[in-house]
Structure 1
Amino acid sequence: METAPEVAVLESVSKRFRIRKDNNLKDRIVHLGRQAKMHRQDFLAVDDVSLSIRAGTTVGLMGANGSGKSTLLKLIGGIVSPTSGMVRTRGRMAALLELGAGFHPDLSGRENIYLNASILGLSRPEIDAQFDEIVAFSGIGDFIDTAVKFYSSGMYVRLAFSVAVHTNPDVLLVDEVLAVGDEAFQRKCMDRIAEFRRDGCTIILVSHSAQQVAELCDRGIVLSDGAVVFDGDTDAAIGVLRDVLDGRYGKGVARTRPAIQLERVELLDASGDRVKVLPEGEALTVRLHLDAERPMERWAAGFSINTPNGHIVFASNSDLIRANLDPIGGRLALDFVVEDLRLGSGTYHVHANVQGVSEPSDHGISHGATFSVETRLQTLGSTTAQVAAKRVG
């Protein structure tokens, strides 16, 4: 099988900004000369990042506020230049980095479509051919000939997103713009990005939503203080992100290894194959991959299935089912089998935990795995509903 080409390569890339503390003219005059350096501070936004992104992948950039996600996206898009290192890209890029970026406030929506699309590389005939679709997708309607300075933030982003996705980019860069707009438009954006994925477009997405990343991305990159602390499977990346946000892991903060550790969570169907989409009512095996640093006589493990909002819809553990667990030493796979999982359609996250009993120890993974349920039933939950009409009176 031929390997997909690289569309973005970063080699030892760093970006440093200079922040001034003397923000007004009076302070700058007073601090002229040798004292001026005392009122400037260097900020390292991206710290020695090396990575490559191949065509056709969807990558989620995650981290706390100020971790360098947006700066890294701008470096990939060529919006800013690195202080050191090298960024190489190929193909047509469309960037959605800020609301209305590339729009002129005094021009109408119509004029800005032609201006922005031409900046993104489309010719006048190509824009003419796409114009009606751009307007229809944005939902701007009668406001298309109104100056965009009178648009709401939602109208801005809808038009900007619509222009970007109709330029047929090879690489789409998205920075949190999916958090703007009403729910219907957000769903439309997600559906369009999913369509891009099917068509082989490369997508690099910055998002604070674990649900969005789990639903859209096949690779997760977690940043902390400008440095990459994890790069790999999306579910594992979301777990690392939780550790970073809780202060348990990050740049300069090493993970402390517990005596018994949960390495990863795997979801299997009735045939023993890894599963991401499960038909309603089918069996699901939650496999916990464990590692005990030294032999342990008594221990326990469990898991929960949660909605994206954090509500538990199913949970179990070895104590509840009165499982007799043999002493553990080294690596072990522990299976919890749910014979008939009845959940409504949607996306679900699996959290898991392992605990040492004879030697107190505890380790868990949030968002250890993600799956979705498909159902043909017109009800939600564990049973179907029947209806019958009965005349009364």
Structure 2
Amino acid sequence: YDDFLALDDVSFEIKEGTAFGLIGENGSGKSTMLKVMARILRPDGGSITTRGKVSALLELGAGFHPELSGRENVYLNGAILGLSRREIDARFDEIVDFSGIEQFIDAPVKNYSSGMYVRLGFAVAINVDPAVLLIDEVLAVGDQEFQNKCTEKISQFRREGRTIVVVSHALSSVRELCDDVALIEHGRLIQVGPAVDTIDHYLTEILSIDPATLGIARRSTGEIQLQGVELLGESGELAGAVALGDSVTFRFHFNALKPVSDPVFGMSLTSSDGVLVTGTNSRDQGLSLEISTGPGWIDLAVPRLLVSSGKYHVTGTIYDATQMTPIHEVGDLYAFDVAEGNPKTSGITSLGGTWRAGE
């Protein structure tokens, strides 16, 4: 057999109090590198040096026992991360409050959704007062509201001078969050340096994306600003409550700072536990727009809202004509509740069909 080196001659230094990103294609060794930093894996050669307490949020469910309740797993996970029972007692309420799953804290975690796993795992990880926080791609599982909470907490950690290491395929988020980034391919370090330079190198040299399309990883340009959403009923009135099967319209209000030719408006619906239910955009509907300077609105009319009862979150996006450069993106722009309708349904969506018996 041949030896396979998951990491080969990878060396870099992360400055204290900075945010550092690890990027690369699937199987490049990013998550392995994070596990080495967390001392879950021991390198066969070389060494790793850390200063202060390290807390890690790695793959989904790491450190959790599926048969135990959320409450019991808080104590288990806290102990793994080095907290005494008295320390966990003092932080328990804060952990549960941040996770937002108070109602299910005494249920076995084997019944948790992936979003609930991430919520509880992240809440524990940030409450052990780490000097270094390691985060794998699992944050992508959480819903937009929770991602916003996590982003704010990470920003707070940075202000407090803590060190953050992130593994992610979301290059836009890495560019926004990280000071420096390391690019790993096939277990080898390709480049390490400022986030913008390393991400651009990854896109051009590894993914062979033309530099003209690098907007996919750049900040929103901001020529048009989404300002809010209204949910309208069948007659155009503001809908106080909606049910499965209702006719509704999502009205997106915006303000254009200058004229924009052929922008693409989009929206996605996400359930309360972070599951993407559906997404659509104006280009898919064949709509071509010319936006003038000043306020305006655009409607998405839905003849029948075929989602089951529950709470849903709306993400709004505007992209340029190439659909590569974001103009403005707002997560959790609007939230609304859907009541049971007729016919009732199970799951996330309704087929909207009609049963008929043979004659």
- State whether TM-score is above 0.5: yes
1:50 counterpart SS class: coil
Match of 1:80 in 2: 41
CA distance in 2 between partners of 1:243 and 1:55 (Å): 30
**In structure 2, the residue corresponding to 1:42 is in which secondary structure?**
coil
The count of corresponding residues between Structure 1 and Structure 2 is 236
* 1:233-312 alignment runs, 5 A limit: 233-246=194-207, 306=215
Over the matched positions of the two proteins, sequence identity in percent amounts to 51
Task: Please point out which of 95, 101, 105 is paired with 2:66.
Answer: 105
1:69 aligns with 2:36: no
- SS across alignment from 1:236: helix
Q: 1:50 to 1:306 in 2, by over 3 A?
A: closer
> What CA distance in whole angstroms lies between the structure 1 residues aligned with 2:214 and 2:92?
44
Mark the structure with the bigger radius of gyration. Answer: 1
The two structures, once aligned, show a CA RMSD in angstroms of: 2.7
Report the CA distance between 1:42 and its aligned residue: 2.0
Gaps of 5+ in 1: 1-39, 249-261, 263-302, 314-340, 347-377, 387-393
Matches within 5 A, 1:189-204: 189-204=150-165
User: What's the counterpart of residue 330 of structure 2?
Assistant: none
Aligned to 1:161: 122
* Cα distance, 1:54 vs structure 2: 2.0
> In the alignment, what sits opposite 1:353?
none
Gap change, CA 1:148 and 1:53, over 3 Å in 2:
same
Distance 1:226 1:306 in 2: 27
Deviates more, 1:118-127 or 1:232-241: 118-127
Report the CA distance between 1:246 and its aligned residue: 2.2
Which ranges of structure 2 fall in alignment gaps of 5 or more residues?
228-252, 258-292, 297-359
**SS of residue matched to 2:62:** coil
Alpha-carbon displacement from aligned partner over 1:92-117 (angstroms, at most 9, x marks no partner): 01111111211111111111111111
Describe the superposition over 1:307-335 as per-residue Cα deviations: whole angstroms up to 9, x where unpaired. Answer: 66999x6xxxxxxxxxxxxxxxxxxxxxx
- Residue of structure 2 in register with 1:173 after alignment: 134
Q: Kindly indicate whether the alpha-carbon contact (under 8 Å) linking 2:175 and 2:218 is maintained by their aligned counterparts in 1.
A: no
Q: CA separation of 1:306/1:88 partners in 2, compared to 1, >3 Å: closer, same or farther?
A: closer
Q: Is the 8 A contact 1:64 1:244 kept in 2?
A: no
What is the CA–CA distance in structure 2 between the aligned matches of 1:76 and 1:165, rounded to whole Å?
17
Report if the CA contact (8 A) 2:23-2:182 is conserved: yes
Q: TM-score, normalised by structure 1?
A: 0.56
Q: Kindly indicate whether the alpha-carbon contact (under 8 Å) linking 1:171 and 1:202 is maintained by their aligned counterparts in 2.
A: yes
- Residues 305 and 175 (structure 1 numbering): CA distance in 2 closer, same or farther, change over 3 Å? closer
Matched, 1:145 2:26: no
Distance in 2 separating the partners of 1:246 and 1:306: 14
> One-letter code of the match for 2:256?
G
Task: Give the deviation of 1:344 after TM superposition.
Answer: 2.9
Determine the structure 1 residue equivalent to 2:7.
46
Q: Report the Cα offset of residue 379 of structure 1.
A: 4.3
SS at match of 1:49: coil
Local SS of the residue matching 2:60: coil
The residue correspondences of 1:55-66 to structure 2 (distance < 5 A) are 55-66=16-27
**Partners of 2:7 and 2:214 in 1: how far apart?**
36
Amino acid at match of 2:255: L
TM-score, normalised with respect to structure 2: 0.61
Determine the C-alpha separation between the residues in 2 that align with 1:343 and 1:60: 29
**For 1:235 and 1:246, how far apart are their aligned partners in 2?**
16
Aligned equivalent of 2:186, options 222, 225, 240: 225
